[in-house]
Chain A
Amino acid sequence: MPQSPQKPLREYLIGNGAFLRGANASVCLDRLVDGSNLDRPLSELAGRSVLLATRDQLTSALALIELDGIARRIVLCLPDLPDEHLSKVIALAQADALVHGPEGIQKAACEIPLRVACGLDVRKVQTSPLPRQETEWILLTSGTTGAPKLVVHTLASLTAAITTKPDPQQSIVWATFYDIRRYGGLQIFLRAMLGGTSLVLSAADEPMSAHLERLGRHEVTHLTGTPSHWRWALLNPAARAISPRYVRLSGEIADQSILESLHEFYPAAKSGHAYASTEAGVGFEVNDGLEGFPANLVGQHGGRVELKIVNGSLRIRSNGTARCYLGTAERLKDDEGFVDTGDVIELRDGRYYFIGRRGGIINVGGLKVHPEEIEAVINRHPEVRMSLVRGRKNSITGAIVVADVVLREKLDPATQRSVEVRQEILRACREKLPQHKVPAAIRFVPVLDLSSAGKTVRHYA
Chain B
Amino acid sequence: MSIRLTVIKELEEVAEEQNVVLPPRSDSLVLLDSGLDSLGFAILVARLEDALGFDPFSAAEEAYFPVTLGDFIRVYEHAAKPAEATA
Binding site for B on A (CB under 8 A): 207-209, 228, 232, 234-237, 257, 260-261, 364-365, 392, 394-397, 400, 426, 430, 435-436, 438, 440-441
Determine the residue in chain A with the shortest Cβ distance to B35: A207
**Which of A236, A260, A430 touches B64 (beta carbons < 8 Å)?**
A236
Contact B32 A396 (CB under 8 A): no
Sampled A-B contacts (19; CB under 8 Å): A207-B33, A207-B37, A208-B32, A209-B32, A234-B63, A234-B64, A235-B57, A235-B64, A365-B38, A365-B39, A394-B46, A395-B57, A396-B38, A396-B41, A397-B39, A400-B39, A430-B17, A441-B46, A441-B47
Contact B46 A237 (CB under 8 A): no
Q: Inside 8 A of B37's CB, which chain A residues have their CB? A: 207
Majority secondary structure of chain B interface residues (helix, strand, loop or mixed) = helix
Q: Does B42 touch A at the CB level, under 8 Å?
A: yes
Min CB distance, A204 to chain B, in Å?
10
Q: Inside 8 A of A396's CB, which chain B residues have their CB? A: 38, 41-42, 45, 57
Determine the residue in chain B with the shortest Cβ distance to A205: B37
A397 to B37, CA, bound (A): 11
Contact A207 B46 (CB under 8 A): no
A306 to B38, CA, bound (A): 36
A236 to B32, CA, bound (A): 8
Given known contacts A209-B32, A395-B55, A441-B50, A232 and B64 CB-to-CB distance under 8 angstroms: no
Q: Does B8 touch A at the CB level, under 8 Å?
A: no
**Which of A228, A234, A237, A394 touches B45 (beta carbons < 8 Å)?**
A394
Determine the residue in chain B with the shortest Cβ distance to A393: B58
**Which of B33, B46, B60, B63 touches A400 (beta carbons < 8 Å)?**
B46
Return the 5 tightest CB-CB contacts between A and B, nearest first. Answer: A235-B65, A396-B42, A397-B42, A395-B57, A395-B58
Contact A440 B43 (CB under 8 A): yes
Min CB distance, B71 to chain A, in Å?
11
Min CB distance, A210 to chain B, in Å?
9
